[in-house]
Structure 1
Amino acid sequence: MYAIHNIALSMFNQNAEERDQTLELIPGLQGIKINDLPNEVLMDNQESPLAHMVYNMALNLQRATAVVINSFEEIDPAITTDLKSKFKKFLNVSSSPLISTSKKSTSTDENDECLSWLDKQDSASVVYISFGTVTSPPLDEMVALAEALEAIKVPFLWSLRDHARKLLPDGFMDRASKSHGKFVAWAPQVLVLAHSAIGVFVTHCGWNSILESISHGVPMLCRPYFGDQKLNSWKVQDGWRIGLKIEGGVFTKNGTINAIQHILSSDKGKTIRENVQELRAKASDAVTPNGSSTRNFEELFQVITKS
């Protein structure tokens, strides 16, 4: 979870008004609002499982021989520098850019169904939608998202489990499938994000999805739900400037239309796409033979073999 170890070093007990204040005390997260932090690390929510995990992490991290995270140093140099000063060894070992994107080596019916449909779409034109395996938007947001996709008629690929399909407006799936939409129960996400047709990833901002999107240069439209997802979405929009948070924090028809069009066709969207390509290049460099993630992995190997 992105930077959760750093937040674990200082929890906050704030009322609603104070939570709108910005924080400057966390290196690499200057300007973040208290309200953008995970609810589970605030002092008034100590009973949640994540709160207990973070608290115990704060107590024990400095005893660790090495702290290893799924990231790469260049994504946030200030955070890396700060945490290297706090722990015996702080190692970023993400290998996300190395994940195979070969159609042949991973060919399945699901893969072929998604990829053959994407092959027919224009470059950087498709909205890919996936909220992971744990959460789905509530009914009103599912309706708003569907209405937005139907209104703007952009091609979309939606990874949507069967139980969530019942939340869509009557007839929407049939109408969209005949014109500009594709629904699948499961999508090979790495292969999808690697496809040239993908223009934006609508995501819950889980950390694996963030890394996969960066590694393939895809801008994001963020609708976080819990845990580190709020913090991740703040970094996407305000830290790295490689995507947008959905307006007001929830899907509305107009807000979703504006955000998708913004990323796909506006001047600001062009800047977002350029920014994510720059970060993609840094992620790729990190796993070269002399890259930071490669060196960190080799150091981790030495730690393990000597223990």
Structure 2
Amino acid sequence: MRWDDFRRSDNVDDVRDQGGGGGGFRFPGGGGGVGIGGLIVVGLVSWALGIDPRIVLSGLETIQGGGSGYSQQEQPGQKRELNAEEKQQGDFVRAVLAQTEDVWGDLFKQSGSQYQPPRLTLFSRVTRSGCGAAQSAMGPFYCPEDKKVYLDTEFFDELSQRFRSPGDFARAYVIAHEIGHHVQDELGILGKANAARQRAGSEEESNAISVRIELQADCFAGVWAYWADKKYHILEGGDVESALQAATAIGDDTLQKRSGGSVVPDSFTHGSSAQRVKWFRTGVQNGDPKQCNTFANGAL
């Protein structure tokens, strides 16, 4: 993916050099607790399955024993120097975010409205969000309460190493997916969909709405990729394939198989691998947000 020579967004708050960036957080109890790798894996699974990571984490804590809550290994507010890789990751995030701002700004303008870009917080281990505590274990997420995206860049390492989805464009897909949720918020879709989830008569019905929310964000990520390539020629050989691999790796059915369990479609909250690939491909092939209506009857 070509990105080095593009502008950087000013809408990034990088707090990775603040408290929590050194030893991080661990679970109390025997065995030294869960390290950052374990936390990020929990985050990947939680992010992809739509599970509240606090439930997953509290379950791990119960298994390990020990007291309640976390033990912090570094005092809040203690500063540290970002290493070269972290600085490069921050630079990459700023470049991708800037491209989403330009693409969605133009698309909103064409429809007679104005796009209000979100801010993105880069953090290490833990920070605060308008939706509560933000932890590495939660994976990347969008908070509609403060209209911000939260990302611990160590997620990128796990995406590449454990989920075998390397490359800059796979990482850009993750960012663009979260920006897709902000676009839904700007369009009023996210609020209506979440209200419908609360009114749902069953967990299965609520999950089905969640799937439609997530698949539309995948499609919007594809729309961004289409126009970013048209405008800036960002795509290189194998880029789209790397994003499709990421979409496949984090499909609900694939993750359930990896965990050794049975595939239970009614429990899906983000969509199957095939669905995620289908909707990202829909966006990246035509660049038309109107084609991303996952809420239409039979759209799935």
The reply to whether TM is greater than 0.5 is no
TM, length-normalised to structure 2:
0.26
Whichever of the two has the greater Rg, that structure is 1
TM, length-normalised to structure 1:
0.26
